Structures are given as C-alpha cells and as structure tokens.
C-alpha cells in the first residue's frame, strides 16, 4: 500500500516537474527540488540549484519549442530513493526550420520526513532507434499548452 501511494505521488511530481518546465514556473519547481539539487544537462554541464532555477525561468519558449511531450514513464522505488525516468519528444523551430527529436531523463528523488524531493536530474539526447512509441505518451503540449 505504501509503495502504491509513493508511486502515485511520484507520478504527480513528474507531471508537475514537466508542467513547471513548460510554464517556466520557478516557484513551483523550487518547491519540489531538494536544497542540494543538481542537474546534469545534455552537454554534460552541471547546474546547481540556483543556476538551474535561473535557467528554468526562461528555459521553455513556446515559439521555439512548438511541441513537447513526455512518454514511456518508468518509476522504480528503492526504499526512500526513487528513479523517475521518461523520454521527451519535441519539435524545435529555429530560423524557420522545424527539427524533431527526443531526450531521456532520469530524476532521482529522496524521501525525507515523508516528503519526496528531487535531488538530481540527468538529461541526455536519444538516437531515433531508441525512441519510445507514440502510444506511450503521458502528456502533450502544443506551443506551451497542455493538450487534454
């Protein structure tokens, strides 16, 4: 039962994490990441919490990222640590040219005092051979708006 409750909570947190990115909601994102949070970007750059939240404020531009989804969500719980993994499908438009692709992320959560918070996010690009199918999409956004 406790495992089921944790799974529901982590799915909700993952949905919130993605929504916070698309809406550039720094305050909401700050509330779900740990004070010692770090992010490893696709370039290998490490962003500590403050730098990450500064990036978060402008990281999503709906005129550039015209499509965004998350899919193939997988959550594994190991006591008070959880791995939340999913892929993002996207279309970016630059200089009139649209490019589609995918990335994959693993967010590591820690449960302290009954509350889950993200302690690390790691994002990397994906090669087309490994793209998850469209039928695994959990949520879609078009020009920054959630599609229900």
Provide the pLDDT for residue 4: 82
pTM for this entry: 0.94
For the chain, domain boundaries: 2-147
Contact 10, 109 (CB under 8 A): yes
Band of residue 44 on the pLDDT scale cut at 50, 70, 90? very high
Relative to beta strand 33-40, strand 115-125 is parallel
| Fold of the 2-147 domain | Nuclear Transport Factor 2; Chain: A, (3.10.450)
- Express each pLDDT in 57-98 by its tens digit: 999 999 999 999 999 999 999 999 999 999 999 999 999 999
**What spatial distance separates the first Cα and last Cα of the chain, rounded to whole Å?**
29
């Amino acid at each position: 039962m406790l495992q089921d409750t944790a799974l529901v909570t982590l799915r909700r947190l993952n949905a919130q994490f993605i929504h916070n990115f698309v809406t550039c909601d720094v305050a909401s994102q700050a509330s779900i990441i740990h004070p010692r949070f770090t992010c490893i970007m696709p370039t290998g750059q490490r962003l500590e919490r403050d730098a990450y939240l500064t990036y978060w404020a402008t990281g999503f531009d709906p005129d550039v990222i015209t499509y965004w989804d998350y899919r193939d969500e997988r959550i594994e719980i190991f006591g008070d640590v959880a791995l939340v993994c999913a892929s993002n499908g996207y279309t970016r438009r630059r200089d009139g040219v649209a490019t589609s692709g995918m990335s994959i992320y693993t967010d590591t959560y820690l449960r302290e005092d009954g509350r889950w918070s993200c302690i690390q996010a790691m994002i990397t690009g994906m090669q087309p051979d490994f793209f998850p199918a469209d039928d695994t999409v959990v949520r879609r956004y078009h020009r920054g708006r959630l599609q229900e």
